[in-house]
Amino acid sequence: MNGDFLKYPRALKPADLIVSAYAFHHLTEKEKAKSIRLMKKLLKPGGRIVMADFMFKNELEKERTACSIREECGADILAAFEGEYPAFYDSFASLFEREGFKVDGEQLTVSVWIIRACLS
């Protein structure tokens, strides 16, 4: 189903699983928090959210990656990421945990993580 992270049709039935790939980085930090709260309402007890997206462990890793890309590919490729909001794994996991999720994640590449959040 295609949709909007900040608005869902009222007629949706509770879900066991919500999956998102390479879309959440378009949301600001406030929008990410709101979206997690909304998705939580859509889940059955014990439901899960799985996301793969542009993400970094923390700000330092984002800067290291940007420097590496700049050195290897030039600044042009970095311009493609202007206006995007990649999450930082540590703070993103905390957003889920505050909403009652048990969270784990795995770094897939220098700038892509998968996060798995299970509603407790």
pLDDT tens profile 25-49: 888 889 999 999 999 999 999 999 9
Establish if 100 belongs to a structural domain. Answer: yes
Asked if 87 and 55 touch (Cβ cutoff 8 Å), the reply is yes
Specify the pLDDT at position 1. 45
State percent of the chain over pLDDT 90. 47
Mean pLDDT of the chain: 86
The model's confidence at residue 77, banded by pLDDT at 50, 70 and 90, is low
- The more confidently predicted of residues 10 and 118 is 118
Query: How far from the centroid of its chain's Cα atoms is residue 63's Cα?
Result: 19
**Domains in the chain, number:** 1
Structural domain containing residue 37: 23-119
Q: Where are the alpha helices (DSSP H) in the chain?
A: 29-42, 59-73, 75-79, 89-98
CATH value at residue 98:
3.40.50.150
Specify the pLDDT at position 32. 92
Establish if 13 belongs to a structural domain. Answer: no
Specify the pLDDT at position 120. 82
